[in-house]
A and B are shown apart, each in its own frame.
Chain A
Amino acid sequence: MPETRPVPFRGGGFNPAGWRWASWIAFAAIIAAWQLSSSSGLLPALFMPSPLAVLEALARLVETGALTRHLAASLQRIALGWAVGTLGGLAIGTAMGIFAVARSIGLPVTSALFPIPKIALLPLLILWFGIGEPSKVATIALGVLFPTIISTYTAIDGVPRNLIRMGQSFGLPAAMIVWKILLPGALPGILSGFRISSSIALILVVAAEMIGAEHGIGAFILAAGNLMQTDQLVAGVVLLSLLGLAVSFGLSRLERWLLRWR
């Protein structure tokens, strides 16, 4: 019998399967290192509070009810502004996906207005609506509007034409084609647009609150900075991180539920 050799294996690799505990261990290690540097005096408390100090600051915020007050103010602005901007963006984006006229007008206008950092409009909006809530909500709504228009329009444009033809071949009225074929088909794109628009809303609420507000996380962080209360300041930043995580988690659940057919 002739000599045999095994076929060398060349597959494998390039397949990063998540390691479940890695993220927690990394977090713990970073926080432990931070705490150690603070306790040993390597990090001056004035510039960077220790994790324990931040935790204490958070606990005090909860006790005094300040946390609820600031969080409620910010969340209300985000919710209102995001809802208005999203509804407007869905409507305009859908119209642009369907009607040639809307597209020819909407595309250049959107391209011109999208790149403006919307916080630059806040002074103008304050002139229009006053220093109160409406100007902040309008800033967020504007910031959310344009990315939503673009993601909706792109998503509707990407719905396979053959599905529309199928709808027509079964005599579906135009409104039913939009409602039962175009919008569900665009849903994946629209939902991933929500990720972008929700993070924009978070940025804008903080910026708007820093420019002029009594309550809200942005106002709170700014006030803490002015008083050099770095433990409170970092507590506010941690709060923002948690808020962002919560929104992203909620969106993931929504996606998993709405797109379970994928």
Chain B
Amino acid sequence: MDLIVREVSHRYGELRALEAVSLAVRAGETLALIGPSGCGKSTLLGIMGGLLQPSEGEVLTSGPLPEGCLNPFTYIFQDFALLPWRTVEGNVSLALEHHGLGAGERAERVASALALCGLAEFAHAFPKQLSGGMRQRVGIARAIVVRPALLFLDEPLSALDAQTRELLMEDLLAIWARERTTSIYVTHNLQEAVRLADRICVLSRRPGRVKEIVGVEVPREERANAEHARALAELQSRLWDLIRDEAAVADREMQNA
């Protein structure tokens, strides 16, 4: 499913968070959203998925829903947002329980999502018993179990250590290769953006505007290969040049000023 953002602006009271943002996400692609901190990335993501009402502008979709889709706009959260009183299985099943599936089909869907995320043997564990990486895998399983049309990820890996991040990136790539879910991926981490995205949308500092949209030419499957390391590093430093000055200014701004 395509997602079209048209002239979206957003204000929190007096504070202008987004200004006339327009962009289109194409079905099947992964779009990374980067920009200095506080530039409105999370705000934009919330507006895109219908969790936040924009002050101005509109968000539209076009194209068919994927087969078996239960929740078209689905989020994966930075802080995982798991219910601590539910087991891994229960957390994933939460997303299905109000859809009136039979108990059998629900259990089947949950089991296959858990298997896909390498969680099968943790089905009955509580979140507190899991490592950060495993917790986010539960968040990912909960998202894919509803077969989303659009997947919104708000810094999904930034609460994790570098090694876990590396492993989870591979998991995400494998899942995208299988499901081809259209995804919007907010990150601070340029390396993540360059590894995971088909296109990278750079936002300016607050109020956030689209500064540039950069395509990543190297096919996703080949990005781990040594021959592309140089091209990707160059892309990364180009992105850094784009946001460096903005980030420096944003860093000196008072919060909520």
Contact = CB atoms under 8 A, between A and B. Distances in A.
Q: Chain A contact residues: over half helix, strand or loop, or mixed?
A: helix
Contacts of B86: 261
B192 interface: no
Contact of B94 (A173, A180, A185, A261): A180
A5 interface: no
Contacts of A171: 71, 98
B79 A162 contact: yes
Given A168-B51, A170-B94, A262 B84 contact: yes
Contacts of A185: 83, 85
B97 A176 contact: yes
Given A261-B84, A261-B85, A166 B98 contact: no
Contacts, number: 49
A169 interface: yes
B205 to A, nearest CB: 25
A167 B142 CA distance: 12
Contacts of B95: 170
B77 A184 contact: no
Interface size class of B (residues with CB under 8 A): 20 to 34
Given A162-B79, A261-B128, A173 B85 contact: no
Contact of B126 (A162, A170, A184, A261): A261
B74 A169 contact: yes
Contact of B146 (A168, A170, A180, A262): A170
Contacts of B142: 170
Given A162-B77, A162-B79, A169 B84 contact: no
A162 to B, nearest CB: 5
B128 A163 contact: no
A240 to B, nearest CB: 35
A162 B98 CA distance: 20
Contact of A181 (B75, B83, B126): B83
Interface in B74-115: 74-75, 77, 79, 81, 83-86, 94-95, 97-98
B73 interface: yes
A165 interface: yes
Given A163-B83, A169-B71, 7 more contacts: A162-B81, A169-B49, A170-B71, A172-B94, A173-B98, A185-B85, A261-B126
Name the 4 nearest CB pairs between A and B, nearest first.
Answer: A166-B81, A261-B85, A169-B75, A170-B95
Interface of B: 49, 51, 71, 73-75, 77, 79, 81, 83-86, 94-95, 97-98, 126-128, 142, 146
Interface of A: 162-163, 165-173, 176, 180-181, 184-185, 187, 259, 261-262
